[in-house]
Structure 1
Amino acid sequence: MGVMLTTDFTVPQRRVQDLTDLMRTAWWMTDRTPADVHRLLDNSDLVVAITHDSTDRLVGFARVLTDYVYVALVLDVIVDESHRGSGIGAVLLDAVVTHPALADVRSVELVCRPDLIPFYRRWGFTEQVGTSRLMRRTTDPRLTDGP
């Protein structure tokens, strides 16, 4: 990759606004506020934050909700638009799927757009989930169809 990156499993208070700004670049997170992001961080079981060392900029993020036994749900995977295609997404996913806390989890799951399926397949994710279907109850109209 050639670019020096730092992977952290916490997001310090001083980075909450940076994370909020990064999240707001994704269609499903445009209404995030620093207060909501702070609560999100406090209530996530695992977070991964990637910082670009030379610019000290937060360029990638993902989080996980899990029971540490049966299921872990990967959420809010995002890479700064100017760094997409540079390998930061791979660094994020590597950090998630190899995290020791998730080593014994039976099923790691995520939801993604169809065009990202080939990317996630590299870590063994599959869209073959039997007859299971994603269901949702939401008050957010953006989450009914997506882009």
Structure 2
Amino acid sequence: MNKITLDKSRLGLHRSLNDPQVDQLVELFQQEWWTRGRTKVDVVNALASGGPVFAFVDPDADELVAFARAITDGVYKAMIFDIIVKSTWRNTGLGGLLMETVMNDPALINIKHRELYCLAEMVPFYQKWGFTDELTGLHFMRKSV
């Protein structure tokens, strides 16, 4: 496998996905335990519910290589979801470019609390952007259907 070199000027940032890119996103999701099993119908519905979308596409291959999305009230809270980089593009700096893009987006930059979920091994990566897991008194809670 050839090592991919990140050329920021070559990658295109897309703020929405066309149908083939949605298919590519669903395929990316199938590669990770935390998103495996997501269907195209569900992904389309999630994307339609609003909020900024961040998708990097390799124009040479017309291939979705990184993705994130957010949901926000525009003032107090923004949740960043589905941060994913295609496995062949990891360790190229693309994850950093994706986070830099998300954190500096006009729709999110002035939000009081920008939040995300991550695995313990990813904490150091997200700390580079000021995220912390030291939230005294808060508890993560979930109710599944």
Q: Say whether the fold is shared (TM-score over 0.5).
A: yes
The answer to whether 1:20 aligns with 2:26 is yes
RMSD: 1.3
Work out the CA distance in 1 between the residues paired with 2:109 and 2:93.
23
Distance in 2, Cα, partners of 1:138 & 1:47: 25
Gaps of 5+ in 1: 140-147
Deviation at 1:2, TM superposition (A): 4.0
3-state SS of 1:27 partner:
coil
Q: Distance in 2 between matches of 1:97 and 1:116?
A: 17
Over the matched positions of the two proteins, sequence identity in percent amounts to 34
Mapping of residues 88-99 of structure 1, within 5 Å? 88-99=94-105
Partner of 1:36: 42
Q: Distance in 2 between matches of 1:2 and 1:95?
A: 15
1-side partners of 2:6 and 2:18: how far apart? 26
Displacement over 6 Å in runs of 4+: none
1:44 to partner: Cα distance: 3.3
Count of residues in correspondence between the two structures:
139
Q: 1:62 pairs with 54, 68, 79, which one?
A: 68
Once the two structures are superposed, residues 19-43 of structure 1 have per-residue CA deviations (whole angstroms, 9 ceiling, x without a partner) of 1111111112111111111111101
Structure 2 unmatched runs, 5+: none
Evaluate the alpha carbon distance shift between residue 2 and residue 83 of structure 1 in structure 2; reply closer, same or farther with a 3 A threshold.
Answer: closer
Question: Normalising to structure 2: TM-score of the pair?
Answer: 0.90
Indicate the SS of the match to 2:100. helix
Which of 5, 11, 24 aligns to 2:11? It is 5
1:34 maps to a residue whose letter is K
| Structure-1 separation of matches of 2:93 and 2:16 | 21
